[in-house]
Structure 1
Amino acid sequence: MNISYDSYRVFYYAAKYKSFSQAAAALYNDQPNVTRMIRRLESELRCPLFFRSPQGVRLTPEGEKLYTHIAAAFESIAAGEAELLSGQSLQAGAVRIAASGLALQGCLLRVLARYRREFPHVRICLTNHSTPQGLAAVQNGLADLAVVSEGSIVPDSLVKQKVAEVQEVPVCGAGFSQLAGKALSLAELADHPIICLTSGTSSHTFYADLFRRCDLSFCPDIEVETVDQVLPVVRSDLGIGFVPREMLLGSPELTGIYPLTLAQPIPPRSIYLFQRKNQPLSMAAQQLRRMLLQDEPGI
């Protein structure tokens, strides 16, 4: 059957209020028109849906069966509309972010703190990935956005925008504290055990290229999975690692950690925001993207 949505809408309100006149008021219509549409619906379905009583109109057994399904459909539509409106006002919703450790410590945590204060009802789904893994998560639809460093081949299906620059510094534990306070060359640093992220990560590629440009071999003595693991390993005097400067600002984990000074500072690393091309973002993801692109340290 090709029965119009408007016909079922009139039936729903008439059954809900048990009154054609109240249904007409709810629909900003008039009672004769409501009555006419009900009669036409009954004709199309070939059965009576209402009968009149002293208390108004009542559903027939056939009308009761139909109302069970129509009410569920209209209530589902109303719930969908409410969810969309709630998401548009950011009173609900979720944003999924794939982030590298460098991006998380260098800029993303700062932005997420502001985002959470402004939109406390939005659920944040944050996963820690290497740059290649983060790009794959966005490409495969497992994340709305990836916030990662450079150093990986970008698939044609993604678009990137630069959101920040992060300065990394070398750090050591008490066992190497005699190096603190000196202006060290990268060659002097290379004479000591080096801690780096695992092969295949953008950090490993970055430092391998940096050492190579200085005619130094790069063979880390210890490799870790995430930047968060660098400080505990450094504190245990297992070598010298590299962390974003932001990790050394007001962290309670800095006991036994000594920042080192290089004569030639490590070049800053760029952080990029990735999303799928031609794929619309939810309101929650759009707002986070906007805040990342407008971010200024210290705000």
Structure 2
Amino acid sequence: MTLDYYRIFYYVAKYKSFSKAAKILHNNQPNISRTMNNIESEFGCKLLVRSHSGITLTPEGEQLYEHVAIAIEQLYQGESEILSNKTLEHGHISIGVSETALNIFLLSKLEQFHKAYPQVKIKLSNHSSIQAVDALEKGIVDIAVVTSPINIKKPLHTTSLYCFEEILIGGKEYENLSNEILDIQQISNYPFITLGKNTSTYTYYSNLFLNQKIPFHTDLEVATADQILPLVKHNLGIGFYPKELISKDSDIFEIHTNIKNPERDILLVQDASRATNIATQKFIDTISL
């Protein structure tokens, strides 16, 4: 018994008509009738009673139809869902994202994607870069969008999406420093604000100082990047902050250094060992443009 046989039986039994079944299946009535004879022969019993008034199901036919109807309708439902996903009438995406990556890059891309595909459900998990990659490794999220530097291992791989620059800033009490050019040794003499140890930002600046053989001392470690700016504004220290996220503020001053302003990347991290659903792939295409 092939699936085609069951499909023919399903439509004949549903509409109690060979002609209707033939029309729906783009077939002809003799073929439908012949197929039903074959099905009954396979089962060794009558499934239909044919008369001038139409077709009725035998008890065996009713019993078979109950099961076949469930199977065929489930197949059609699955087919419909796949086609809907393909046109992004449905779908879901789970993204692990660091705060800096979200504010500098991803928010505008999310807005663009949502306008184009409003039916796709998006779940955002706000993590540090390290936590976002860990969530990807565990299969909790479909993709991660994070900031460099980040250590990954196969089967994960990264794609650079955007490059951003960070500048050293201070509040009003450090305004005099804006007229100087500091070296990294001088920077280390002032209270320094940065993200906590388990972040890619801390790793980045720790390496920056240690490469110059200067100990990296932090005076304030914060949980999220958006906490740095108000702390700097209230003169609790100086710190590096993404240039694009600093609005024109008379209480914030750029402190110039003789080191190249740190350039970092926003990275897309994917797991090559896992299949990507249609919605997620379309979103990857959107943010990769």
| Normalised TM-score (structure 2) | 0.88
Match of 2:241, SS? strand
Q: RMSD across aligned C-alpha pairs, in angstroms?
A: 2.4
Q: Look up the match of 2:143.
A: 145
Inter-partner Cα distance in structure 2 for 1:82 and 1:257: 57
The amino acid that maps onto 1:69 is: H
2:179 to 179, 182, 192: 182
Counterpart amino acid of residue 261 in structure 1: I
Whole-Å Cα distance in 2 between the matches of residues 283 and 81 of structure 1?
14
The match for 1:243 is 241
Distance 1:81 1:259 in 2: 59
Show CA shifts across 1:171-199 (max 9, x none). 4455x353574345244443332221111
| Secondary structure of the structure 2 residue equivalent to 1:216 | coil
**1:56 and 1:217, CA in 2 relative to 1: closer, same or farther beyond 3 A?**
same
Could you tell me which residue of structure 2 aligns to residue 216 of structure 1?
214
Residue 290 of structure 1 pairs with residue 285 of structure 2: yes
One-letter amino acid of the structure 2 residue matched with residue 194 of structure 1: F
Secondary structure of 2:162's aligned partner: strand
Matched-pair contact (CA < 8 Å) for 1:163–1:271: yes
In structure 2, C-alpha distance between the alignment counterparts of 1:257 and 1:52, rounded to whole Å: 90
Q: Indicate which of 80, 83, 95 corresponds to 2:81.
A: 83
Please show how residues 151-230 of structure 1 align to structure 2 within 5 Å: 151-173=149-171, 176=173, 178-179=175-176, 181-185=178-182, 186-230=184-228
> 1:147: how far off?
1.4
Identity, % of aligned pairs? 37
1:167 and 1:269 in contact (8 A); partners too:
yes
The alpha carbon displacement at 1:57 in A equals 1.3
Name the counterpart of 2:252.
258
Aligned to 1:273: 268
Q: Secondary structure at the match of 1:25?
A: helix
Displacement of 1:12: 0.8
Q: How does 1:107-118 map to 2 (within 5 A)?
A: 107-118=105-116
Question: 1:297 matched to which residue of 2?
Answer: none
Q: Runs of 5+ in structure 1 lacking a partner?
A: 295-299
SS of 1:102's equivalent in the other structure is: helix
Greater mean alpha carbon deviation, residues 122-131 or residues 4-13? 122-131
Q: Which has the higher mean CA deviation after the structures are superposed, 197-206 or 263-272? A: 263-272
How far does residue 268 in structure 1 lie from its aligned partner after superposition?
Answer: 0.6
- Name the SS for the 1:110 alignment partner: helix
Report the AA paired with residue 43 of structure 2.
L
Alpha-carbon distance in structure 1 between the residues aligned to 2:75 and 2:88: 20
| Contact kept in structure 2, 1:97 and 1:146, CA below 8 Å | yes
Residues paired across the two proteins, number: 287
CA distance 1:210–1:52, shift in 2 (3 Å): same
Shift in CA distance, 183/292, structure 1 to aligned 2, threshold 3 Å: farther
8 Å CA contact 1:179–1:260 kept in 2: the answer is no
| Greater alpha carbon shift after TM alignment, 25-34 vs 272-281 | 272-281
> Structure 1 residue 125 and structure 2 residue 119: aligned?
no
For residues 105-150 of structure 1, give each alpha carbon's deviation from its aligned partner in whole angstroms, at most 9, with x where no partner exists: 2212222222222222211121122223222222232222211122
> Paired residue for 2:90, among 92, 95, 103?
92
Letter in 1 for 2:35: M
